């Protein structure tokens, strides 16, 4: 590789790969220093300089200016140095040009090694910068294979890892399946960027609604909170500042068209969409759907955030849910600890103060017309004991 070829190659690399040619010049110079010492077995302090304009390579042996020479290869006395240039002082380095045999061959090998290495580093950095901007966002992946219970998912230019703990329980991942994944973490390693994705993260649901519901994407409808047990059920609280927009209806879509897309993507996971309310009593009432609520009494201790809830006698199991799921998700969604009893149990144990009219939930609050319409619109009809959204 002659000087002209080197310069042309570096210009092409800078243009096509976006690698600053100065970085490559410096790396080649350092590589040539090591190559010269290795190939010629010299212990001299070697310096290599590549002319940035012509591409010519110069090799020097640097000698330190000392009072008295002890090592002729690496030192020169102050007296001898000043014979070359009177301005030299102790500690300066004096360059002595040297001509090395086979320098062109060695420089070509060194340049090739450096360019290959810089290519790899640049590609890794480019990939990392591309995916770090996608962290905590959603992407579409194609299932490649399974390794030690982990699923390897192709995201185009690299493969991501879907760990076993981030997989939806019971979900099957077959070769070439297209799945939506949440990019949980992007790390730079010596082998390049390592991406970890999730199918269980609650924000996957949020990102799916942003993709499917324009009102969520543009901020007209705000997702206030989500509680999720992946593969089984999700509760999501939505809100809109625009009084003309029904946030639940927007997320559900006509005849459930919007939410159905997300349910299908999550392999049939049930999604309860409720309207957020700044009044904790109303919010808790909505969160416990499909069960009706008779009364909600909030703890007087504001820091405790606990609520006592009374439901109809025939709806206690519905309010609690299978293995406590409904009340558990409602508690996570609202941020309130919820204790539930049937009306008969509550009256028998003085569970709440029934003489306080404020604890009772009005029928209007318990059966919000807009919310019920959205539920009916999605299901076609109310299902006994369960609303599936």
pLDDT tens across 17-70, in order?
777 888 888 888 888 888 777 766 666 788 888 888 888 888 888 999 999 998
Q: 140-198 sits in which CATH class?
A: mainly beta
Q: Which CATH superfamily is domain 202-379 in?
A: K homology (KH) domain (3.30.300.20)
pLDDT computed for residue 300 by the predictor: 87
Q: Report pLDDT for 385.
A: 35
For residue 233, the cross-strand partners are: 229, 270
- pLDDT attached to residue 283: 97
pLDDT confidence of residue 113:
75
For residue 40, what pLDDT is reported?
A: 64
Q: Residue 10's pLDDT is what?
A: 78
* 383 φ/ψ angles, rounded to the nearest 5 degrees: -90, 140
The neighbour count for residue 350, using CB atoms within 10 Å, is 8
> Token pair of 35, please?
């190559």
Report the pLDDT value the prediction gives residue 111, as an integer from 0 to 100: 65
* Ranges of residues in the chain whose predicted pLDDT is under 50: 369-389
Q: Give the CA radius of gyration of the chain.
A: 35
Nearest partner of 97 among 61, 48, 51, 45, judged by Cα: 61
| Residue 35 to residue 312: CA distance in whole angstroms | 85
Per the CB < 8 A criterion, the answer to whether 193 and 124 are in contact is yes
Domains of the chain, by residue range, sit at 3-130, 140-198, 202-379
Q: How confident is the model at residue 108, as a pLDDT?
A: 67
Query: Going by CATH, does the domain composed of 3-130 fall within 3.30.413.10?
Result: no
Q: How would you classify the pairing of strands 337-342 and 306-311?
A: parallel
- Tens-place pLDDT, residues 348-372: 999 999 999 999 998 766 765 444 3
Beta-carbon contacts of 74 under 8 Å, excluding residues fewer than 6 positions away, are 43, 44, 45, 62, 63, 64
Q: What angle do CA 91, 94, 100 make, to 5 degrees?
A: 140
Residue 380 has φ and ψ, to the nearest 5°, of 85, -35
- What's the confidence (pLDDT) of residue 371? 40
Report pTM.
Answer: 0.73
Q: What is the structure's pLDDT at 377?
A: 35
């Amino acid at each position: 590789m002659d000087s002209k070829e080197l310069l042309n190659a570096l210009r092409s690399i800078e243009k096509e790969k976006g690698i600053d040619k100065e970085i490559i010049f410096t790396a080649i110079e350092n590589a040539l220093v090591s190559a010269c010492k290795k190939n010629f077995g010299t212990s001299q302090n070697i310096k290599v300089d590549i002319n940035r304009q012509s591409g010519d390579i110069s090799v020097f042996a640097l000698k330190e200016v000392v009072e008295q020479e002890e090592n002729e290869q690496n030192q020169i006395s102050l007296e001898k140095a000043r014979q070359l240039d009177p301005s030299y002082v102790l500690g300066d380095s004096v360059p002595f040009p040297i001509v090395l045999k086979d320098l062109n061959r060695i420089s070509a090998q060194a340049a090739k090694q450096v360019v290959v290495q810089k290519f790899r580093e640049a590609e890794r950095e480019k990939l990392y910068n591309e995916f770090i901007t996608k962290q905590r966002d959603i992407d579409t992946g194609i299932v490649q294979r399974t390794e030690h219970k982990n699923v390897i998912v192709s995201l185009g230019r690299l493969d991501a890892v879907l760990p076993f703990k981030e997989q939806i329980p019971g979900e099957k991942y077959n070769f070439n399946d297209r799945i939506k994944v949440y990019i949980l973490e992007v790390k730079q390693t010596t082998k390049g960027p390592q991406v970890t994705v999730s199918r269980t993260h609650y924000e996957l649901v949020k990102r799916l609604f942003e993709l499917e519901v324009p009102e969520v994407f543009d901020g007209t409808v705000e997702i206030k909170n989500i509680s999720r047990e992946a593969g089984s059920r999700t509760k999501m609280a939505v809100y809109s500042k625009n009084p003309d927009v029904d946030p639940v209806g927007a997320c559900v879509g006509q005849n459930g068209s919007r939410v159905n897309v997300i349910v299908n993507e999550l392999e049939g996971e049930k999604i309860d969409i409720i309207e957020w309310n700044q009044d904790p009593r109303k919010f808790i009432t909505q969160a416990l759907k499909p069960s009706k609520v008779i009364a909600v009494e909030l703890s007087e201790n504001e820091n405790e955030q606990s609520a006592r809830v009374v439901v109809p006698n025939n709806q206690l199991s519905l309010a609690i849910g299978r293995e406590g799921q409904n009340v558990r998700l409602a508690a996570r969604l609202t941020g309130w600890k919820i204790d539930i009893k049937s009306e008969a149990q509550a009256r028998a144990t003085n569970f709440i103060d029934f003489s306080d009219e404020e604890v009772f939930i009005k029928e209007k609050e318990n059966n919000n017309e807009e919310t019920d319409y959205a539920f009916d619109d999605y299901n076609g009809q109310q299902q006994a004991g369960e609303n599936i959204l």
